Amino acid sequence: MAIVCAVDFSEGSRQAARVAALLAARRSQPLWLVHQVHPDQLRVAAEPVREGLQALLREEAARLEPVGARVRVLLLENDSPRALANVCAAHEARLLVVGSPRGEEAALGSGVSLERIARNCAVPLLRVRDAAPFEAWLSGKRPLRVMLGVDRSHGTEAARRWLAELRAAGPLELLAGHVYYAFEQCRRLGLPTPMNLDEVAPRIEEVLHREVAALAATEAGPAPRVHLRMAVGRAADHLVDLAREQEADVLVVGTHPHTSLGNLASVSHHALRLAPMSAAVVPVNPAASRGEAPIPQLRRLLVATDLSPLADEAIPFAFALAPAGSEVHLVTVVPERSGADLHQDLKGRLLERVPRGLESREVVTRVEVLHGEDVALTLAQAAERLDADLLCLGSRGHGGLKEALLGSVARQLLSQSRRPVLVLRPPVR
């Protein structure tokens, strides 16, 4: 295991190298200082140029050794954007550190190349803007103030897991930032779209606050403080603004964002390019294929039935999946034109289907009659409002959920739901 730091001998590079050396010393890992040079630069007077660059690398290593890091140097004669990624792979690096390149422009230029490096690299990339916050953190003077950009994606999950590694070096003050689009959230949650979006924002943010806090929570340390921003335009700019307003030392994002909680597309690129603070982008690795993915915690299950015998047979199996202390929401869907009398009758019939003996397991059961003409959409929206960890339904039924497994409802639910869906087929008797 090692830390790799790309250097170009600029002031920004010197600050990044110091942070990398401090982290390497804290983790007892070797530090590789790598300077990448285009082969064309060595066509004239190759040996003197090569010797000069190697001398600069040795000087930088000597400057950093007093902090306790084991520093090694490498002159990389390669112009490929994958060259640094290959170095990281060869030395089993856990982190690639870079600084603000020499002659950086505010709009374009180095940010694009850094994004290409991040896209090709299988390890987290930390871009250091200022070494001072890291020095204060690693010397024990104060926690490192980190904002995690959150959406419901594997990128956020990877970034959150990486924060556990970062926390091992010192305490973190964790902030969770999320940017959302009101119209998209109204559709997702099944809320009517008002003329004035400020009217619906409190209802949206009540749900989002709970979701974002759960997605950003780590096993150690206090719960993150959630900061939400209603967006118009590019989400990345708003997330960077949130990090600036909250005086974050580091903005951390995953590299595979989706639109489940809002559009964070290309945030990693813009975080590296625009963020005035340090930024880290964390790639998604196949953790599940290596047995490293955390086991999901089922806190809340949504169980759907159309009250037919075939659909009801899935209910006990769904409750069997509910761990102690969880909530199970047992629901059915009826057309919006249904009256209050039918509503009360259906709630009573749902209660009759709740399995006995749940008290000892401390499973809380809630029943609800959902209204909607589109059954699959109604269930998907209810799962979002409830922040359900799992949707369960039977493989066959009648009425609103008929032909569930092979029919249109299940296909639509599987395509529309942003939550895991489990279709339960009762055993053959």
Q: What is the pLDDT of residue 78?
A: 84
Q: Lowest-pLDDT range, 142-151, 231-240, 280-289, 358-367? A: 280-289
Cα dihedral 94→100→102→108 (10° resolution): 110
**Structural domain total, the chain:** 3
Residue 398 has pLDDT above 50, yes or no: yes
Residue 57 confidence (pLDDT): 94
One domain for residues 326 and 372:
yes
Give the residue from 126, 148, 177 where a domain finishes.
126
Instruction: Give dist(CA 408, CA 400) in Å, integer.
Output: 11
Domain shared by 176 and 275, yes or no: yes
pLDDT in tens, 35-46: 988 777 777 777
Do 247 and 379 lie in one domain? The reply is no
What is the average pLDDT value for the chain, to the nearest integer?
85
* Lowest mean pLDDT segment, chosen from 12-16, 106-110, 293-297, 360-364: 106-110
**Domain membership flag for residue 429:** no
**Whether residues 122 and 134 fall in one domain:** no
What is the reported pLDDT for 403? 45
Q: Write the pLDDT tens digit of every residue in 325-373.
A: 899 999 999 987 777 778 889 999 999 999 887 777 888 999 999 998 8
CATH of the domain at 46: 3.40.50.620
Judge if 92 and 209 occupy the same domain.
no
Question: Is residue 51 over pLDDT 50?
Answer: yes
Domain containing residue 101: 1-126
* 222/216 Cα distance (integer angstroms): 11
Query: Mean pLDDT, to the nearest integer, of 86-105?
Result: 82
Q: Which of 126, 155, 180 is the last residue of a domain?
A: 126
Identify the band that residue 136 occupies on the pLDDT scale cut at 50, 70 and 90.
Answer: very high
Tokens at 345, concatenated? 């009758």
Alpha helix segments (H runs only) across 217-279: 235-245, 267-274
Tell me if 208 sits within 8 A of 387, measured CB to CB.
no
Q: Residue 383 has what pLDDT?
A: 94
Q: Please say if the pLDDT value at position 48 is more than 70.
A: yes
What pLDDT is stored for residue 105 in this prediction?
Answer: 43
pLDDT in tens, 152-203: 888 888 899 999 889 999 999 999 999 999 998 998 998 888 778 788 899 9
The amino acid present at 358, given as its one-letter code, is: L
Structural domain includes residue 121: yes
Q: Are 128 and 98 in contact (CB under 8 A)?
A: yes
Residues 6 or more apart whose CB falls under 8 angstroms from that of 43 comprise none
346 and 289 part of one domain: no
Q: What is the pLDDT averaged over residues 103-121?
A: 56
pLDDT over 80 (residue 313): yes
> What is the predicted pLDDT for the residue at 262?
41
User: Six-digit token pair at 168?
Assistant: 């091992």
Q: 137 with 285, same domain?
A: yes
> What CA–CA distance (Å, rounded) separates 259 from 107?
25
162 and 309 share a domain? Answer: no
Predicted model pTM? 0.81
User: In the prediction, which pLDDT does 300 show?
Assistant: 93
- Position 273 in a domain: yes
User: How far is the C-alpha of 313 from the C-alpha of 426, rounded, in Å?
Assistant: 6
Q: Put residue 365 in one of left, alpha, beta given phi > 0 → left and psi -120 to 50 → alpha.
A: beta
